[in-house]
Amino acid sequence: MSAPTPEEFIQRALAVGIADRRSVDRALADLGSEERGLSDVIELLQRHGILTTLQCEKLTRGDKGGYFYGDYIVQYLIGAGTFARVYRAQKGEEVFAVKVLRKRFRDEPKEMEQFLREGRMGLKLKHPNIVRILDVVPDVRNPFLVMEFVEGQTLRELVRIRKQLPVELALKLTMEISAGLAHAAGLGISHRDLKLSNVLISSAGTAKLVDFGLAALADRNNPEQVADCPNARAIDYAALERGTNVRKDDPRSDVFFTGNMLYHMIAGEPALTETRDRLARLNVSRFQEIKPISEHVPDCPGIVSQLLMKILAYDPEKRIQSAAAMRIEVERVLETLKKGPTERKVHDTTGTVNAADVGDDQVVTNEGEGYVVMLVESKANLQNAVRERLKARGYRVLIIADPKRALARFEDDIENPADCVIFGAAELGNDALEAYNQFVTDEKTAEIPAILLVDQRQGHIISRAKRGPNRVLLPLPLRVKQLRVALMQLLANIEKRTPGMF
């Protein structure tokens, strides 16, 4: 089809009702008597705010419809998905977002009902961190939802531009997302499709959840319908829930995928590898083999690493149990970071193990901030377990597999490389014992706290290990809480290091 003449273009705009003759003539007066081409007329009408780019494209093609939905004048396309498009639209002086079901689904009763159910459900969600649905228009030819228009961008766009967000900003946005999810959960509604593109960031910097479309499928009387939904967006949720043997609409799934977004904001890439391969997405190893955040962000605060471990726990019983609880946890971590380093409470140093000193193991803390711990251990799994759990509590952890090299570090360095050394005897055996005993007796290291991890069956090591006020023997298999108690007691009177200096 050939392009219209300038006058044909203007007549089309008048015919469909998106412009009036007086406004057009007033704008054209700027051209005076000059000969005007189509591009000149389009540029002029856009500059005067009479037509938008989308409207001009449709008029140039000769489209007869798609300019109005009810009383709402379509201005721009602001989002497009598999099932619907979202437009910026105007009614009077107010601006709205209009979500329209794609034409190919309007003759599908199932898709139509899901779309309208999403709208009716959204009418109940009235929260500052959820994009409001204001009206549902069930026109069989042009069904659409009228929504709050949010000036801003998606969280995916923000992360793409900035690569990695500052930790405090990522936590603040996660706290707002959690607040929106908690409100929905209070009404029996979960999201079921949490990802960066379904979070809008307003121009004021507020996070707002959008697209509860899959939640509309969550018929609790027919839970199989959720997991077996053909919609590809449900695959990740289905894989997690089947792999952990929980119901198909478990609210802790939204917690997990919120954690995936938090991880992505901080690391610049998601915790879950992204792929379009359906079989790969159904493989539960994706959820079990998440790299520690410290591999992407070495200086990520331990308290944040620990929070992510709890949110992204594969075992749903070890995961934070609700969006409301997650909001509280995230807020607590954010407040802790804003306060900066705090003075340590002096703990009992008599050697008595007091579990109350470390509180609930499930509570996020930053007790190790300002301390460096060296682990002398050759077993990779024990190295990883101790490192990640202590880093999550704020400690900096150095790993050395050779006991002799570990001792040499204290001889060579002007400043002590660690505030406490943990020797593992499970595999190193007598080598660990000899290094531990030498560490205890050498003048330069005698005052530095040390811990020996030993299997109770290694009686010869236990009997020969030197004891002292700043020496502790802990049994293997290791209980993390017991190690935390020992460290807090041993380091109680050791001055913290200045942040950024170790």
* Residues annotated in a binding site for ATP: 99
Radius of gyration of the chain (CA): 31
For the record, the structure tokens of 502 come out as 């170790």
For the record, the structure tokens of 130 come out as 């959820």
Amino acid code (one letter) for 295: E
Q: What are the two backbone dihedrals, phi and then psi, of residue 344, each rounded to the nearest 5 degrees?
A: -80, 140
Q: Hey, which residues does 101 pair with through a beta bridge?
A: 84
Q: What is the DSSP-derived secondary structure letter of residue 130?
A: B
Distance CA 21, CA 282 (A): 58
Q: Strands 396-400, 372-376: parallel, antiparallel or unpaired by DSSP?
A: parallel
Residues in the chain: 502
For the record, the structure tokens of 352 come out as 């008595």
Contact call for residues 152 and 200 (beta carbons, < 8 A): yes
**Of 81, 6, 2, the residue nearest 37 (C-alpha):** 6
Distance CA 230, CA 148 (A): 29
Contacts of 256 (CB under 8 A, 6+ apart): 240, 287, 311, 312, 319
Q: What is the DSSP-derived secondary structure letter of residue 276?
A: S
b/e per residue, 310-348, with b = 16+ CB within 10 A? bbbbbebeebbebbbbbbebbbbbbebeeeeeeebeebe
Q: Hey, which residues does 199 pair with through a beta bridge?
A: 209
Distance CA 380, CA 60 (A): 66
b/e per residue, 189-217, with b = 16+ CB within 10 A? bbbbbbbbebbbbeeeeebbbbbbbbbbb
Binding-site residue positions: 99
**Of 313, 408, 306, 399, the residue nearest 361 (C-alpha):** 306
Contact call for residues 394 and 367 (beta carbons, < 8 A): yes
